Structure 1
């Protein structure tokens, strides 16, 4: 391909060759659940096929931790063995739910792909959930099997007496999973027959009603994400003078630092690498700057997608320069918004962020990014989140659902093969989020300028704390259960590292005098740690309300 002198003209030429008739990523309109939309034609039919086809990568690294190295061949064999064990020992089949309640590990990944081979639905449960939240997740998803690490198995054991685990098999990742793999090693990879619009995965996202909602993703959703990442590899190859060959393994090595129960780590990192032959480098345990950078140096990591909180901790570290980070060629910020000034500080401090920094906008319900901005776009259009990615249609709409022209602020609505099937076991929430034309109302507000999206407001009342979604209603309902609390309001307060911290204003009942420690302990026993308020104001004055009785959050002083 001869390169035109105009970079934009060259980009258009590359995209046409990749996505046009006969291209590796040919795009055409098809019917998806009753709506016409652009899709890639050369796609696989099920996530299990990714495991089957990973044979091509043989003994190359797939999953790497500080102390372990799992090849693609080993991973495929272990997934086949575990799938056979789940089918024969525990009767797991198409449509059954298999939950995973654990911290990141190679065994988490093995358990997930075993569910996909069987046509079952993998349920990523939040490893930070407190016991009442775990109970809700079990009651909501009704799994037949739960994989848990030792720490979370203890939480499950504490729930065993109330009947929530009746009929549920609990298997530990440390002992039961390796035992089953050893017993069935050598079993053939027997793929279940599924439709591409069958459910594949449930990942929980907080809801404004106060209860987590289960975003239900199809095989089509995950495979569309895979092809999006392969397409990006094709673009990168063209811009470095190479021809993209899908049968050749990628030499990129990706750092995984977010929980596997998030789309950033599961859908957009672990799953696509089966199709590209790339390595996933996985630190285990809490985020530790030195441990992470040691792995980057040792494993020559090339790509890292970090939440802004992690990036802030990098900036605060006094001795980052002692590590050789020269292998990093792509550094993305994801999961939470970050300011222009913050990005500038990253670029000033770190060479790997100067030319490689990218930003994006997405949400669990969409499986991957909705829009993405490259380094040059961030330079020339500060605050942008870039253009919609391939096969994504984006509209800004007014409160009546009518399209708004560029430059006008409204709700961000999207349609694509990435959009979830709906919310598991919640038809009313699904109808409220997805219309008959398969357009998803994100609940976020933005404006399109120069063809690029700029976010102007997050979902109503949402607090983004270190990349985690925190909805006030859930915490307020928890505080309402305290015998000394009359009412409570929870808001986000700016925090230099986390983006926002959780603040609570608590109105106490007449004659009561709970202190901050009492209230914090009460919430800690019921909710994940990141939802526990770190700032408190205890008062006897009623909360500000409007004429209809709703709390006016803008008038709350935390």
Structure 2
């Protein structure tokens, strides 16, 4: 099936619901999902998706409606994902690490008809967070939600793993039950008609950018970008129908969608889920199910390797995709069986998201470790000078720019930002620093003071701005940097110059006070007190190199506040 689909360029000609439906029918009783000791067959998964699609239709959710999700990586949200696409609605996963400010800014732009959320996850209360982010939310006499700030909102749904009920939120099980009768002849005919109506060029995804230069943008996809990513990913990895994939990523991240589309749509292979990433549990599941493939950031791999008695687990991963530093390539190679395929990638939400990927049959160690592979077929890459915008010689560093047949369809309600992201030659400006040499991309980091921490891009400028706003009575000035860290990739550290008469509180106190005001990944790991003027370069700019050196020294001495 997989080889025939790749040969037929199914990613270009068909939609995700169409391919998913066919995969379920062909795979039947074979295992689709494994979660907490329970196996769900493709037939059972298909039946659940049809029931959920029927439920959405009964609630009036249809073509063009936006369904925002605050999802856990569980079977329920996998079912909702495919059902939403089948009825023609738009999937919009939102980052569970966001704070109130992100939700306040993004929800009115995306105009959801329905919001489906977990209630508690990672120690956070999302019912309370949504109520804070939608302060004018209220319910009418029949329990229907309404908010002037979100005039499109018609339904709020909650998935509670603890079985709790929340006033004003429909329970996820009640939503599922609303689809009863989906397999009756008349309803089944409706489901078939919906599948036939789906076109690969329909916009059915709003994917949030990482928000590295400000508030997250809402990128629009049709079916082709995510399908191209898994199609060429399968080719580059040497993926086949014997794989068993373990998902380490959240479903609000593009890598979580990659897992769903690769295994349940294109390849028909088992997908192992866990509600949240725990390194010891990941090793247990890999051992128990003989998992062969996965994707991970630096922190995923390092956390698994640091589990005590790592060697006693069967680590059967033989095909791995990395988004990390060169040192992580060596770590993963040592963790995996001899001969494993380890592929570095370069990805951006705007390209659906894969731009380049290493190839499974490349045997050059230097290329595999230090580059991020070749661009996908049809992707043209140039490097342009950051200041002049002119192309630089091959091998020279600058801004990575590209044109592609898999590009997004623009930023929702941000036409000027969409136009500004392209130059006169039609190349998209990535905002990333790197070089392109011998046909291989090397990503060197984000422009504008952005660091990668725990797999998330963090704008140091944005962190400083938010801290100054939130602690206006305490902080005179803030400078935020990233300090290299074996676990986090970059450790977010803020130097704080206190207002006269104030003292810089402890890191623990300040981190606690940041919760709900900064995204979880933006909250600095350390706060360091600074007195006097900031160090400057000969040009009069802040000397961040000296700040970084000072941070390293203080952290080594254990001087964090």
What is the rounded CA distance, in whole Å, between the counterparts of 1:191 and 1:324 in structure 2?
Answer: 44
2:463 to 465, 475, 491: 475
Aligned to 1:309: 299
What is the rounded CA distance, in whole Å, between the counterparts of 2:154 and 2:101 in structure 1?
Answer: 17
1:206 aligns with 2:176: no
**1:551 to 1:139, Cα distance in 2 relative to 1, 3 A:** farther
Q: Which runs of 5+ in 2 are unaligned?
A: 121-125, 139-145, 148-152, 161-169, 552-561
2:157 to 171, 175, 183: 171
What is the rounded CA distance, in whole Å, between the counterparts of 1:353 and 1:531 in structure 2?
Answer: 38
| SS class of match (2:242) | coil
Q: CA RMSD in A?
A: 2.8
Aligned to 2:287: 297
1:506 aligns with 2:492: no
**1:128 to 1:168, Cα distance in 2 relative to 1, 3 A:** farther
Aligned to 2:374: 387
Question: Structure 1, residues 412-446: CA drift from partner, whole Å, max 9, x if none?
Answer: 11222322222222222222223466532111122
**Paired residues, number:** 504
Contact 1:65 1:281 in 2 (8 A): yes
Alignment of 1:67-216 (within 5 A): 67-89=37-59, 91-151=60-120, 152-159=126-133, 161-163=135-137, 166=147, 167-174=153-160, 176-185=171-180, 186=183, 187-188=187-188, 189=191, 190-191=193-194, 193-216=197-220
Alignment of 1:182-261 (within 5 A): 182-185=177-180, 186=183, 187-188=187-188, 189=191, 190-191=193-194, 193-232=197-236, 250-261=241-252
**1:80 to 1:44, Cα distance in 2 relative to 1, 3 A:** farther
2:347 to 362, 387, 409: 362
Alignment of 1:405-484 (within 5 A): 405-435=393-423, 438-481=426-469, 482=471, 483-484=473-474
Contact 2:205 2:221 in 1 (8 A): yes
Aligned to 2:529: 538
Contact 2:212 2:457 in 1 (8 A): no
Aligned to 1:396: 383
Aligned to 1:37: none
| SS class of match (1:422) | coil
**1:499 to 1:398, Cα distance in 2 relative to 1, 3 A:** same
What is the rounded CA distance, in whole Å, between the counterparts of 1:216 and 1:545 in structure 2?
Answer: 41
Aligned to 1:9: none
Contact 2:205 2:220 in 1 (8 A): yes
**TM-score when normalising by structure 1:** 0.82
**1:265 to 1:429, Cα distance in 2 relative to 1, 3 A:** same
**TM-score when normalising by structure 2:** 0.82
Contact 2:104 2:133 in 1 (8 A): yes
| SS class of match (1:519) | helix
| SS class of match (1:70) | strand
Contact 1:472 1:490 in 2 (8 A): yes
